[in-house]
Each structure stands twice: as structure tokens, then as C-alpha cells.
Amino acid sequence: MIADAIRSLFEYQIQEDRRLWDEAIMALPEPAFKIDTGYSWGSLQRECAHVVDVMHASLERLHGIKAATVAVTMDDPTREQIRAAWDRVEASWTRYMAALDDRQFSREIEIVYRDTAMKTPVWQTIFHFLNHNTLHRAEMRQMIAALGGSAGPDRSFSAHCLEHSE
């Protein structure tokens, strides 16, 4: 039952990520994607690459692997290249979440976080990924506004749930 609730949260996350990509990031002029806004990772290009790398590393961690590679391998990736990497990692996450059950959710795994080895339950890494994407979606919306683009606010989780219960 808890796993079903977490899957619902994951679906919300995916919808909001895609909404930001489709309605705001892809709507910007191509050069704007690489402009340094002077905050956080600077450009949307670097911010998006960071987020997809953390998505990738978090999932690898759940499989007991310390990610040795990054999801975005190009030096100067285009929006389309980052989006393609994002979609691949998202699809892997979707497969993982589809198979998640309550026992797996609470299972302890060994991870390395910021070069520190620790034993943590699976849910911590799942929520780290969900929280991290949410945080960076908010930063990306601020960057898009600074670049003259338009990104409405994140739709709240309760609004998402009400919409899907109707």
C-alpha cells in the first residue's frame, strides 16, 4: 500500500518534469539554454545535466552500484541530447517503480553519499531523487523567468491528486 502511494508521487513528479520541459524549456530560443544566469548551476544546460545525472546515480545506488558514469556524456550537450538522456533515465526509473513493493521500500542498502559509506533504507534514496528534482524544477522556473521565458508554477501534489480522482 505504501508503494502504491509512492508510485502516485512518482507519476506526479514525471508529469511535472515533462510539463516543464515541454512548455517552458523547449519553448525558449536555443541560445538561451546555455546562457549563464548567475545562480545555482548557471545555465539551464548545466542545471538539466546535473539533475539527470543525479536521477541516474540515485537509481544506480538502488541497484547497489556506485555510478561510475554520468547520464549526459557530451561536453556541450544540446537540449535534445539532454532530454533524450533524461527520457532514458526516466524510463528506467519507471520500470523500477513499477516493481516496487512495501518490503523493498523499507529494505536497507549500502550506499556512498558524498564519499561517505552508509547503510540506509531504500525509501531515502527514492525521496532524495523526488526531492532533488522538485528543488531543481523550482530553480529552473526561476532561470526561465530570468531568461525572459514563461514557466507557470509547479502544480501542487494535492491539485494533481484531485484532478486524477475526478
CB 72 within 8 A of CB 89: no
Query: In this structure, which long-range contacts are made by residues 36-42, counting pairs with CB atoms below 8 Å and at least 24 apart in sequence?
Result: 37/143, 37/146, 37/147, 39/139, 39/142, 39/143, 39/146, 40/139, 40/143, 41/139
Among 11, 23, 90, 154, binds another protein (CB under 8 A): 154
> Per-residue x/- mask for another protein, residues 64 to 103, rule CB under 8 A?
--------------------------------------x-
Query: Is there a contact between 24 and 16 (Cβ–Cβ < 8 Å)?
Result: no
127 binds another protein (CB under 8 A): yes
Q: Applying CB under 8 A, which residues contact another protein?
A: 1-2, 5, 8-9, 39-40, 102, 105-106, 113-114, 116, 118, 120-121, 123-124, 127-128, 130-132, 134-135, 137-139, 141-142, 145-146, 153-154, 156-158, 161-162, 165
